[in-house]
Amino acid sequence: MTPVTTKPRILIVEDENIVALDIERGLERLGYEVVGVASSGEEALHLAKNAQPELILMDIKIKGNRDGIETAEEIRKDFDIPVVFLTAYSDEGTLQRAKNVGPYGYLLKPFDETEMHLAIEVVLQKHKSNRLKEVQSQNDLNLSEERFKLFVDSNKEYALFMMDSVGNVISWNLGAERIKGYKPDEIIGKNFRVFYTDEDRMAGKPEQELELASSTGKFEEENWRVRKDGSRFWASEVITALTDEQGRLRGFGKVTRDMTAAKIAEEGLRRAIVVRDEFMSIASHELRTPLSVIALHLQMARKIREQELKSGAGSDRLLTSLDISIKSVKSLGSLIDALMDVSKIHTGRLQMNFEITDFSKLIQNTCKNFEYAFDAAKMKFDYEIDSGIFINCDLMRVEQVMVNLLSNALKYAVGSPIKVSLKADNKCAYVSVQDFGSGIPEAMQTKIFDQFERVGSPSVSGLGLGLYISKQIIEAHGGSIGVESEMGKGSIFKFDLPKEKRA
């Protein structure tokens, strides 16, 4: 036997004095300290409280209203003291009852000192290690709860909060504060309905979501939610029903992420795809129109020539067809040029060849070239060009901008008079092209300088690239281009170019 180094304190509960004394002596011999002897349950309870034994040797059959097992149960409610039962009964029922109390051992009477010593030591050891485990696991639990709480409280990425069973907010973390804009004291106790849009509240969505969460355990969705300041954000959320061990609903946990940035990026992408697809359809339509003309005229030319060869006669119809075909090939070419320009812009390869240019002459000539077209369209066309303005620019590219603005005037301001003006101060040259047409809606005024955007698409012909390319050209010169327009009154397209290219 290992010697007992410290003296464990033992309470004896035994109503037969001689047996009690015998056990007491035995215990002392084994090196234990007997803190008392009780002969009834009541006495045992009293001593357990006051003498604070570390172990109780408990006879099952004792005096009083309670037997040993009942007394042990009583004691266990209040004190964590291991019990070794002493019993003369070896019937299963009694032993089972003793075991159910959850204590640690029993000795069948009669027992000798060694048996007693062994039983006591085993129980003490078991008790000690159980206790250690409990403390350990409690510590672990405390630690992980602590960590979890810290994680929840300090998490800024996620709004993590709890609600009671009807959706009133009962906890609030930093993320919730950041995403939804409420301080804890502003929201705790309030119903989570305030996070929903008016439409969703009207439709009863908050209640439906709790209903779904409680019936299926979880509800997930992505949708618009409202911040404290009324602004909307795209939320990805999960509502989890929290139930107790009996399965009764205790409340809800809610995790929300602000996915607005991702949503905007996604919609931007979607929009870009739609715009691109629309453009592809417009481009194919635009390219096919001159192709139709060319194909038909070449077929007609062939037919005419065939007939001429048969009849020996000649006509200028053949020349007309060929002329129109040649013109259409040119317009096809300029459509392809525009596509190439955009491709160059996208890859940063739109090169400018700067040279000192007589800008007055350039604008003057371009306008002159349009006189015939405006005349044919029965549109009054005036230009007021200050002479002697020289700037450092890419002549071809600037001409391209001017041609684009005049073509647009011809195309969009049907029947309206057109006025062109060129002025300059010592820094810049200023060009404006004014029409008195239907005007451009405000929402479109900046969009028309984006690629593939057109006013009144898709019925008006054109690729919708002209103003986009023009803007890139003007900006490559360090200048700016824009439009002033009023519905029903007309539009003024303006651009300015620095005389010397800015760095």
Partner 1 sequence: MIGSMECGTVLIVEDNDVLLETFKYVVESEGYHVLTAKNGKEALAVLEVTPHPCLILLDMFMPVMDGWEFLNQIKLKEGDLIVSLPIVICSAAGEQKLAETAKEVSGYLKKPVDMDVLINTVKKFCNPIQKNNGATVSN
Pick 328 or 416: Cβ nearer partner 1: 328
Given a contact cutoff of 8 angstroms between Cβ atoms, the answer to whether 60 and 68 are in contact is: yes
Pick 100 or 299: Cβ nearer partner 1: 299
Pick 103 or 490: Cβ nearer partner 1: 490
Pick 87 or 438: Cβ nearer partner 1: 438
Distances (CA, A) of 355 to 15, 77, 344, 358, 497: 122, 101, 21, 10, 13
Nearest alpha-carbon partner for 188 in 196, 198, 177, 178: 177
Where along the sequence are the contacts to partner 1 (CB under 8 A)? 281, 284-285, 288-297, 299-300, 303, 307, 311, 313, 315, 317, 321, 324, 327-328, 331, 456, 458-461
Q: Whole-number minimum distance, CB 409 to partner 1, in Å?
A: 15
Pick 79 or 372: Cβ nearer partner 1: 372
Nearest alpha-carbon partner for 282 in 405, 409, 452, 470: 452
451 — phi, psi (to 5°)? -70, 145
Pick 23 or 293: Cβ nearer partner 1: 293
Distance CA 471, CA 211 (A): 55
Pick 125 or 307: Cβ nearer partner 1: 307
Q: Whole-number minimum distance, CB 267 to partner 1, in Å?
A: 24
14 — phi, psi (to 5°)? -160, 125
Alpha-helical (H) ranges within 347-456 are 359-376, 395-412, 442-445
Instruction: Order the strands of the 55-59 sheet from edge to edge.
Output: 33-38, 9-13, 55-59, 83-87, 105-108
Pick 229 or 316: Cβ nearer partner 1: 316
Q: Whole-number minimum distance, CB 327 to partner 1, in Å?
A: 7
Ranges assigned E (strand) in 207-293: 218-226, 232-243, 249-258
Q: Whole-number minimum distance, CB 331 to partner 1, in Å?
A: 8
Pick 159 or 455: Cβ nearer partner 1: 455
Q: Whole-number minimum distance, CB 274 to partner 1, in Å?
A: 14
Q: Whole-number minimum distance, CB 458 to partner 1, in Å?
A: 6
Distance CA 20, CA 178 (A): 70
Cα 254 off chain centre by: 15
64 — phi, psi (to 5°)? 90, -175
Pick 171 or 328: Cβ nearer partner 1: 328
Q: Whole-number minimum distance, CB 208 to partner 1, in Å?
A: 36
Token pair recorded at residue 342: 């955009």
Which residues neighbour 136 within 8 Å (Cβ) at sequence distance 6 or greater? none
Give the Cβ contact number of residue 187 at 10 Å: 22
Q: Whole-number minimum distance, CB 359 to partner 1, in Å?
A: 32
Angle at which helices 395-412 and 466-476 pack, to 10 degrees? Answer: 150
Distance CA 142, CA 144 (A): 6
Pick 37 or 332: Cβ nearer partner 1: 332
Token pair recorded at residue 224: 């618009």
Given a contact cutoff of 8 angstroms between Cβ atoms, the answer to whether 418 and 435 are in contact is: yes
Neighbouring-strand partners of residue 281 = none
Give the Cβ contact number of residue 386 at 10 Å: 14
Q: Whole-number minimum distance, CB 417 to partner 1, in Å?
A: 20
Tell me if the bond preceding 110 is cis, omega within 30° of 0: yes
Pick 84 or 293: Cβ nearer partner 1: 293
Distance CA 274, CA 328 (A): 29
Q: Whole-number minimum distance, CB 280 to partner 1, in Å?
A: 10
Q: Whole-number minimum distance, CB 432 to partner 1, in Å?
A: 25
Helical (H) or strand (E) element with 145: helix 113-154
Given a contact cutoff of 8 angstroms between Cβ atoms, the answer to whether 161 and 176 are in contact is: yes
Q: Whole-number minimum distance, CB 215 to partner 1, in Å?
A: 41
